[in-house]
Amino acid sequence: MRISMIGTGYVGLVSGACLADFGHHVVCVDKDEAKIEALQRGEIPIFEPGLDVLVASNVKAGRLSFVTETETAVREAQAVFIAVGTPSRRGDGHADLSYIYAATREIAACLDGYKIIVTKSTVPVGTGDEVERILREIRPDADFAVVSNPEFLREGAAISDFKRPDRIVIGTEDPRAREVMAEIYRPLYLNAAPILFTNRRSSELIKYAANAFLAMKITFINEMADLCEQVGGNVQDVARGIGLDNRIGPKFLHPGPGYGGSCFPKDTLALVRTATEFGTPLRIVETVVGVNDARKAHMARKVVAAAGGDVRGKTVAMLGLTFKPNTDDMREAPSIAIVHSLLDKGARLRVYDPEGMDEARKVMPEGLVYTSGPYECAEGADVLVIVTEWDAFRALDLERLKTLLKKPVFVDLRNLYRPDELKRHGFDYVGVGVPASGA
C-alpha cells in the first residue's frame, strides 16, 4: 500500500519507518528542507534506539523516502497520515492545531481519487470533524474519509511499541476507510494486536484519557512517597503492595521528580481545557497538573536539604537531564525546573547526560558546566544527584565516586540504589519515599 506521512517529527518518522518495514511504500513529507536533506543523507534528527538502522534499511529497499513537496506524495498515496506537532498554545494551554489545519489545506489541494486522511497527531476531541469540514469546504467534489488513529509510542521504546502494540485504535464509521486501515495494520495480525474500531470522537478521547490516567498514577505514587517520608514507610514496598493487585498493576508506580516529555504535560493540560469548554471540568486531572508542577520545586528543596540546608557557593553534580532514559528529548524535563531552582539558590552546577547534552544546551540557562561522564561530573561536588534513570547510572563505582566528591552526599531522585548499600560505602543517602541513611 502507498502511504504518505505529513511531518517527520518523532511520531511521523518512527511511524513512517515502521510502516515501511511492514512492506508498505511510505513517503515522508516535511517543509524543513534542511531536515529532509539530512534524512536523505541518512542522518536521524532524534535519538531513538534502532531508528537509524530501521530507516537506512527501508531507504535502501526503496520503501521509504523523504521529500519536501506535498502534491505528488499525496496524489500517489492511498492513505495520508498527518503527524505534525500539536504543542500547547501560549497563554491558555489548548493544543495548537495550526499545523494540523495547514497540513489539511495542503492535502485538500492534492486530493485525487478516494483517500483516507488519518490524524496520527494527538488532537482534542472534535478535531477530525474540523479537518473534514476544511477538506469539504476546499474540495466539495473530493472523495475521502477522515480517520483518527492515535499513537501510543513511548520514547526510547517506540519501535517496539509500534510493532508490538497493546492495541490499535481506529476511529471511523466509514466501511471503506475501515477496510483500508485494517489492511495497513494487517502485518500486526500475527502478533494478535487487538484493533479497536470506534467512532472518531471516542478515538480522539482515548489518547488523552490514557495519558491523563498514567499521569495520575505517577502523581499518586509521588504523593504517597511524600507521605512515606513523614510516617516512616517505604514507598517501594507500598508500590509493590498495591501493584500486585491486578486491578491496579505495577506500571507507572515509580516515584520520582514528576512527569515530563512531549506528551503528558501538554495532553493533561489540553484535556483540562477541553473539558472546561464543554462544561464538564476534570477536577482530578486539574489536581494532577498542579501537583506535578509543584513536584519539581520540591525535588530542588530535597537537594538543598541534603546539602545541609544551603547550596549557595556549593557544587551540585547532576546525572541525567532528559525527561526519561533512551531519548534526547528535553521537553518539559524535570531537570530544567530543578536546575533553575538550584541556580536561583546560588548553587554551581555540573551536569552530564548520555544523549541529551546538545538538546540541553538549547533550553538550559547559562552557567552550567557540561561534563563528559558521571565521574568527571562528580569531581569536586558537594552533592551528587541522579535525575534521570539511565542504565549507565545504575552500577556506578561507589568507591571511586566517594573519592571524587568533596562530600559523600548522594541524592537519588529515581531510587536506583538501596539506602543500606550507600551507607556501607560511607554515603549520606537521600531517596524518594524511602528511609534516608547517614554514613
User: Once rounded to an integer, what is the mean pLDDT over residues 341-355?
Assistant: 97
Query: Of 294 and 436, which is predicted with more confidence?
Result: 294
Band (pLDDT 50/70/90 cuts) for residue 82 is very high
User: Once rounded to an integer, what is the mean pLDDT over residues 296-311?
Assistant: 96
Q: How far apart are CA 401 and CA 408, in angstroms?
A: 8
On whether both 100 and 175 belong to a single domain, the answer is yes
- 138-185 tens-digit pLDDT: 999 999 999 999 999 999 999 999 999 999 999 999 999 999 999 999
> Is 226 within a domain?
no
Q: How far apart are CA 66 and CA 34, in angstroms?
A: 11
Match 485494517 to its residue by C-alpha cell.
Answer: 182
| Rg of the chain on CA atoms, in Å | 24
> Is 378 within a domain?
yes
Q: How far apart are CA 104 and CA 132, in angstroms?
A: 9
On whether both 258 and 111 belong to a single domain, the answer is no
Helix (H, G, I), strand (E, B) or coil at 300: helix
Helix (H, G, I), strand (E, B) or coil at 18: helix
On whether both 23 and 147 belong to a single domain, the answer is yes
> Is 347 within a domain?
yes
On whether both 294 and 151 belong to a single domain, the answer is no
> At residue 348, what is the residue type?
R
On whether both 91 and 172 belong to a single domain, the answer is yes
Domain limits for position 359: 243-430
User: Once rounded to an integer, what is the mean pLDDT over residues 201-229?
Assistant: 97
> Is 233 within a domain?
no
User: Once rounded to an integer, what is the mean pLDDT over residues 417-424?
Assistant: 94
pLDDT for 98: 95
Question: What single string gives the DSSP state of each residue in 251-270?
Answer: TT---SS---SSSHHHHHHH
- 233-246 tens-digit pLDDT: 999 999 999 999 99
Buried/exposed 70-106: b ≥16 CB within 10 Å, e otherwise: beebbeebbbbbbbbbbebbeeebbbebebbeebbeb
On whether both 166 and 259 belong to a single domain, the answer is no
> Is 215 within a domain?
no
pTM of the complete model beyond 0.75: yes
How many independent structural domains does the chain possess? 2
Query: Of 189 and 174, which is predicted with more confidence?
Result: 174
> Active site includes 110?
no
Question: Is residue 27's pLDDT more than 70?
Answer: yes
Question: Is residue 37's pLDDT more than 90?
Answer: yes
On whether both 8 and 154 belong to a single domain, the answer is yes
What proportions of the chain, in percent to the nearest 5, are helix, strand and coil? 45, 15, 40
Q: How far apart are CA 129 and CA 146, in angstroms?
A: 8
Per-residue 3-state assignment (H helix, E strand, C coil) for 44-73: CCCCCCCHHHHHHHHHHCCCEEEECCHHHH
pLDDT for 58: 97
Q: Which CATH number covers residue 120?
A: 3.40.50.720
> At residue 386, what is the residue type?
I
pLDDT for 89: 83
Do 201 and 125 contact (CB within 8 A), yes or no?
A: yes
Q: Which residues pair with 72 in a beta bridge?
A: none
Positive or negative, the CA dihedral 190, 193, 197, 201 is negative
Q: How far apart are CA 306 and CA 314, in angstroms?
A: 12
Q: Cα dist. 126→82, 119, 120, 211 in Å?
A: 15, 12, 14, 18
On whether both 288 and 418 belong to a single domain, the answer is yes
Helix (H, G, I), strand (E, B) or coil at 28: strand
On whether both 173 and 67 belong to a single domain, the answer is yes
pLDDT for 439: 56
What is the end-to-end Cα distance of the chain in Å, rounded?
63
Nearest by Cα to 149 from 92, 188, 113, 112: 188
User: Once rounded to an integer, what is the mean pLDDT over residues 6-34?
Assistant: 97
On whether both 129 and 7 belong to a single domain, the answer is yes
> Is 228 within a domain?
no
On whether both 250 and 188 belong to a single domain, the answer is no
- 304-315 tens-digit pLDDT: 999 999 999 999
- 374-409 tens-digit pLDDT: 999 999 999 999 999 999 999 999 999 999 999 999
Q: How far apart are CA 37 and CA 42, in angstroms?
A: 9
Question: Is residue 419's pLDDT more than 80?
Answer: yes
**Catalytic choice (28, 110, 228, 263):** 263
On whether both 288 and 182 belong to a single domain, the answer is no
Among residues 197, 232, 264, which one ends one of the domains?
197
> Is 234 within a domain?
no
- Grid coordinates representing 227 are 507521605
Among residues 164, 197, 230, which one ends one of the domains?
197
- Grid coordinates representing 85 are 506537532
> Is 438 within a domain?
no
Q: How far apart are CA 102 and CA 401, in angstroms?
A: 52
